[in-house]
Chains A and B, each alone.
Chain A
Amino acid sequence: MTTALHPASGTSLISALQAALSAGQVISHPDELVVYECDGFTIPRARPLAVVFPTSTQQVVAAVNVCRKHNVSIVPRGSGTGLAGGIVPVTPGVQISTARMNKILEIDLRNRFALVEAGVCNLALSTAVANSPFHYAPDPSSQRASTIGGNVATNAGGLHTLKYGVTVNHTLGVEIVLSDGSVHTVGGPQGAGAQIGPDLTGLLCGTEGTLGIITKVWCRLTPKPTAFRTALAIFDDTQKACQSVADIIAAGIIPAALEMMDGTMVGIVEQAFHLGFPKNAQAVLVLEVDGPDLGLDEDLAQIESICKKNGADFQGGSDPKRRADLWSARKRAFGAIGRASPSYCTQDACVPRSKLPEVLAKIAEICARHRLRATNVFHAGDGNVHPILMYDEADESQVRAALAASGEILRYCISIGGTLTGEHGVGIEKLPYMRDMFDPASLASMHKIRHALVGDTDAMNPFKTLPREDINIDLLHPQRKVPQ
């Protein structure tokens, strides 16, 4: 059975939400709801019944109770920067946004933690401790906009996860509101690193709002590295760049970041930021080692040797301006793609790093077969590929080609020991491929966890993350709004 995404409304629901919060905290006019129809994955769109903006855990509970009473589903939302359609309401639903829960409640530098409300922007926490030796290490490309609660819900990654880990490695505890309105605290300032009992905080990270609404987060603060060496390795062949990545990892070096752009992306970035990349470059690695100053030159020399052995033109150094330019360009690379294509979708498979050469070759072959332009900018050190498939959203055949090619890429990555998503999450986008990744028993165990915390209802972000037998999501619903 296929269930299409819906439009719906309900005046008594809106009134109840306004009574529980305030009129200014509820959006329900259709014109205002348009921007809440999708996240960064723009193909599936559906309008929520309303969007509410609580400012406290108590207000989240009040909104949850109203939704339960009116039998509508809840869709937790941070700032809507997700990339897998996780905030698209599949059934009549209300988005509960934590965006206005944006207070940093406590910073304890001595004990290396901060307690924040879920809607605090990722970058705001590092900014708040900028004058100290610490920072909040997870740095997804969306960090200027994405919320920490959203980062926890998706277990967001970033550029520096190779050495410092992903969001779950920096989450000490959370406060969560379940669909029955109950509030639970798991973990806390000490974290779960020494606890005896299941690691519930770890479990909740990455569950994409399907188990509850995260309202507070205890974040680990990490010492800022004090010395860096940043390098650019330019290759005339993508495979040689991939081989260099594999060789660096195999040498036991843990760079803070090891990022790759293919030739198409190099051209796009160069056109946008004028960093002096050679026009004939087929791939570049942007990499960084950090830590105590002593030893970094040795690490960099070893990396240079590896890259040069694979034919690279290597430029390394410690110039802070050059470093800032390179990372700024890398983080803004996705934004620059708009110069090349009106629409694009980004895939997110992760593979063993030694498989990168064959994966990139396969991506090129699949996209060529589907007559799609594609480019790659990705976390090479993690093996986390982000093929960017470019299409024109006004042409449905191109949209379908992009989805078909995405599916082939993901299935190929799974077949060689990879995973269908490294950091974006499953949302509704990747539901069809979960059965390629997990057998029925493993999926059933996840459903048991969901059943334990949510029960039999479809109350909390239903039909996301875990595939169900009774529904398929039609990502190309005819009512999808196509931008003019």
Chain B
Amino acid sequence: MTIAPAQLPKRPATTDELAAAIAAASQSSTQIRLTGSNSLPLTRFDPERPIQDISTLRVKNVLDHAIPDMAITVHAGITLEALQRHLAWHDQWLPVDPPIIANPPGRTPNHRTLGGLIATNSLGPLRFGSPGGSGVGDWRLLIMGMKWIDASGTLIKGGGRTMKNVAGYNTPRLMIGACGSLGAIAEITLRTFARPQDERCAIFFCTSAEQAENLLAEILTSTTTPAYVQAIGARTFAGNPLQLPSPTRGIAVVAGFLDRPPSCAAQITAIRELPAAAGIESIAQTAAQAGRLRLWMTTEPSVETLGSPEGLGFRLHALSSQISPLIAALEVAAKNENAGTWLVAEAASGVLRGAIASPRARDLLQNCIAEHAPGARILLTQNRPVENPAESPSLIARLKAEMDPQHAFGLSPSLL
């Protein structure tokens, strides 16, 4: 199929139009920049070659909702808000709470497209294991199948519409986190879940990293099934949306539960009675407050979040046990520089989102990682990927060379 550049459907409304737009751009040697809500553009392009923006925002329909089978198929351009609203009519939901991108301001994660969320592997506190407290909650669990478009504009099917599927290679998993560098996500079939009846959380005000780590270790080996477990620097917690008082030092640990009201209440009681919780001031929050706090905790900060012209926003991935010492060390290092900080971690998953308002922020971060979290990987700085591949770059380069030899889709952050 050949389409003159002037006729390129830059805002396609169907999967076929999306495929046609990609095919046409590819044939003209134009680089293809897929844009959803454009919240987190991570793919890098060759500045010497023309770039064609192709938006998925109009490819946004619910294609099939097998309500009793708890499975839904949607276009990639559907926003999370639209998807959740549709599911809510049927008392179902998708248990994801992706980060709020602080820059540009005013965006909420609900405006982000599902395709964009998957392509950037965007998840929040519920990544730890919201469905039934199973301890698993990432995109691998949620995605049953996908149709994606390769660099020639051909529609590719991967996975299916069943709970289990090991027929052939699972190409959809290759699209998770690939930032659109290997193909364009067009349609996704997702597993859905019954909406939890209640959400509650307990907030513990730990006065030291050691106290926080002891508590985290006990929560994570307890008989409870938290949907999220967070750790927040004391100075960051001072800005909490619930206007709860914050200690001047230490770490706030937040454990949240999504379940029936009695189960939530019982589990909150159980973790407040853990031996490591003895002597730690704590407070419980019910549904509305817990939900607001969880949303705030997804903030992907930049230095602008701190109102500073200088510094560094970052996201890193460490071991869960490294999180409390790292937060404490960063707090001290920044305080010594009179620098503001934003430090909120998905403590159970080891993901720390932070910002340090100091011109020496990068050095402070590297030093603290070296001392307290060896092996931790910085994933983003200022909402841009860093040259620190999570996976074997040589394998990704080989896949890229085979699947998109002309680099029509730009480069994956892992290949920068």
Q: Which residues of A pack against B, CB within 8 Å?
A: 108-112, 132-134, 137, 154-155, 157, 161-166, 168-170, 182, 184-203, 205-207, 220, 222-223, 226-227, 246, 249-254, 291-292, 294-295, 298, 350-354, 379, 381-384, 417-426, 430, 434, 437-439, 441-443, 445-446, 448-453, 465-466
Contact = CB atoms under 8 A, between A and B. Distances in A.
Contacts of A382: 162-164
Given A292-B267, A419-B167, A441-B154, A196 B177 contact: yes
Residue among A162, A199, A449, A452 with the most chain B CB within 10 A? A199
Given A196-B42, A202-B140, A254-B132, A166 B164 contact: yes
Contacts of B351: 194
17 contacts: A111-B320, A133-B221, A186-B392, A190-B319, A193-B138, A197-B178, A198-B182, A199-B176, A203-B170, A292-B133, A292-B266, A350-B162, A379-B164, A441-B156, A446-B168, A452-B398, A453-B399
A200 B267 contact: no
Nearest to A171: B140
Contact of A418 (B154, B160, B392): B160
B391 A202 contact: no
Interface stretch (B63-71, B199-207, B301-309): B63-71
B390 A252 contact: no
A315 B71 CA distance: 30
Contact of B396 (A197, A250, A426): A197
Nearest to B138: A193
A449 B171 contact: yes
Contact of A446 (B141, B169, B182, B225): B169
Contacts of A294: 262-263, 266-267
B165 A196 contact: no
Given A111-B319, A449-B174, A466-B168, A162 B163 contact: yes
B221 A109 contact: yes
Contacts of A449: 169, 171, 174, 399, 402-403
B319 A189 contact: yes
Contact of B390 (A112, A197, A445): A197
Contacts of B139: 199
B4 interface: no
B223 interface: yes
B157 interface: yes
Nearest to B270: A292
Interface in B30-87: 42, 66-71
B217 interface: yes
B265 to A, nearest CB: 9
B298 interface: no
Residue among B70, B165, B182 with the most chain A CB within 10 A? B165
Nearest to B315: A194
B177 A192 contact: yes
A463 to B, nearest CB: 14
Given A203-B173, A350-B163, A465-B169, A220 B135 contact: yes
B389 interface: yes
A292 B412 contact: no
A251 B92 CA distance: 10
Contact of A202 (B155, B165, B173): B173
Task: For chain B, give the interface size range.
Answer: 35 or more
B300 interface: no
Interface stretch (B101-109, B120-128, B327-335): B120-128
A434 B168 contact: yes
Contacts of A352: 66, 69, 71, 161-162
A420 to B, nearest CB: 5
| Closest 10 pairs (CB-CB, A-B) | A252-B194, A197-B414, A202-B173, A195-B390, A250-B68, A422-B164, A452-B402, A295-B263, A350-B162, A198-B178
B123 A193 contact: yes
B369 interface: no
Given A186-B395, A196-B179, A453-B398, 9 more contacts: A162-B163, A169-B140, A185-B392, A193-B349, A196-B414, A384-B163, A422-B165, A438-B157, A441-B154
Contacts of B135: 112, 137, 164, 220, 222-223
A422 B349 contact: no
Contacts of B391: 186-187, 192, 195, 197-198, 200-201
Given A252-B194, A452-B401, A295 B164 contact: no
Contact of A165 (B67, B141, B169, B220): B141
B390 to A, nearest CB: 4
A257 B114 CA distance: 30
Interface stretch (B10-18, B236-244, B283-291, B377-385): B377-385
B252 interface: no
A195 B318 CA distance: 11
Contact of A249 (B68, B162, B398): B68
Contacts of A437: 160, 167-168
Contacts of A197: 177-179, 389-391, 396, 412-414
Contacts of A438: 157, 167-168
B169 A207 contact: yes
Interface in B106-152: 120-121, 123, 127, 131-136, 138-141, 150
Contacts of B127: 193-194
B117 to A, nearest CB: 13
B178 A291 contact: no
A421 B392 contact: no
Given A194-B351, A196-B385, A200-B391, A155 B166 contact: yes
A169 B143 CA distance: 12
Given A110-B220, A194-B121, A196-B390, A426 B166 contact: yes
A452 B321 contact: no
Nearest to A382: B163
A289 B10 CA distance: 49
B170 A445 contact: no
Contact of B170 (A187, A194, A202, A351): A202
B394 interface: yes
B224 interface: yes
B354 to A, nearest CB: 14
A93 B177 CA distance: 36
B350 interface: yes
Contacts of B120: 196
A434 B377 CA distance: 39
B337 interface: no
A133 B401 CA distance: 45
B360 interface: no
A154 B165 CA distance: 11
B260 interface: yes
Contact of B169 (A112, A203, A383): A203
Contacts of B349: 193-194
Contacts of B346: 194
B296 interface: no
B174 A198 contact: yes
A106 B66 CA distance: 43
Nearest to B394: A184
Contacts of A192: 138, 140, 177, 390-391
Given A196-B120, A352-B69, A448-B403, A426 B167 contact: yes
A351 B413 CA distance: 37
Nearest to B269: A294
Contacts of B169: 203, 206-207, 446, 449-450, 465-466
A445 B161 CA distance: 19
Nearest to A289: B132
Contacts of B220: 110, 112, 223
